[in-house]
Amino acid sequence: ILNVEQSPQSLHVQEGDSTNFTCSFPSSNFYALHWYRWETAKSPEALFVMTLNGDEKKKGRISATLNTKEGYSYLYIKGSQPEDSATYLCATPAGTALIFGKGTTLSVSS
Amino acid sequence: DAGVIQSPRHEVTEMGQEVTLRCKPISGHNSLFWYRQTMMRGLELLIYFNNNVPIDDSGMPEDRFSAKMPNASFSTLKIQPSEPRDSAVYFCASSTSGSRDEQFFGPGTRLTVL
């Protein structure tokens, strides 16, 4: 059974801090790595879909890197803002299913 | 496009009752997914349709759960009879091509079974 692990489980930072979290996934038979942002009372929203080893994607203050050989991806948030507070999920395809990690819940205090 | 549409947004029912959740995927998307989100298990896939055909239903918990997709613009997830442990948020998502492409999630249906 494919296992996607995320750490830390939760994180609390001050406004303006930069932060990062990790997603670990099996490196064998890799196809793609997804990052989603999930705000409370809303639905998950895709941030990035990454496929190439060494790939780096950026959207505003959020960026992600991918290492398919060792099976990990980092998500970085530069200068965290209260509106960044959300759960960040990573996921990778396994057959027909997209296997999600349990997420990292970020809380940003002003 | 309005995005993925789910109804109802909230459902409260009594144990033993039949519950039907509805989903309208984004037009042009040929893959549709039903997920269940609970505190204990996180987001787990229940069933996946491609071109209206169920491809993988291994995540459906038991025979009380069934899902249909009669056409490209509509899917239902039915629980009969419902039980308190079915209480969760049920999400529908669609994508252009299977699990490898970005998925667009609906707002979810929060189900409470008393």
pLDDT for A46-103, tens place per residue?
A: 999 999 999 999 999 999 999 999 999 999 999 999 999 999 999 998 877 788 999 9
Helical H runs in B1-114? none
Identify residues of A whose CB sits under 8 angstroms from chain B CBs. 31-32, 34, 42-46, 49, 89, 93-103
Nearest alpha-carbon partner for A33 in A60, A11, A6: A6
Average pLDDT of chain B is 93
pLDDT in tens, B32-53: 999 999 888 888 899 999 999 9
State the best of A98, A100, A105 to mutate against chain B, taking most chain B CBs within 10 Å.
A98
Residue B89: burial class (beta carbons within 10 Å; 0-12, 13-18, 19+): middle
Is residue A8 within 8 Å of residue A60, measured between CB atoms? no
Cβ-Cβ contacts under 8 Å, A104 against chain B: none
- With beta carbons under 8 A apart, name residues in chain A contacting B103: 34, 44, 46, 98
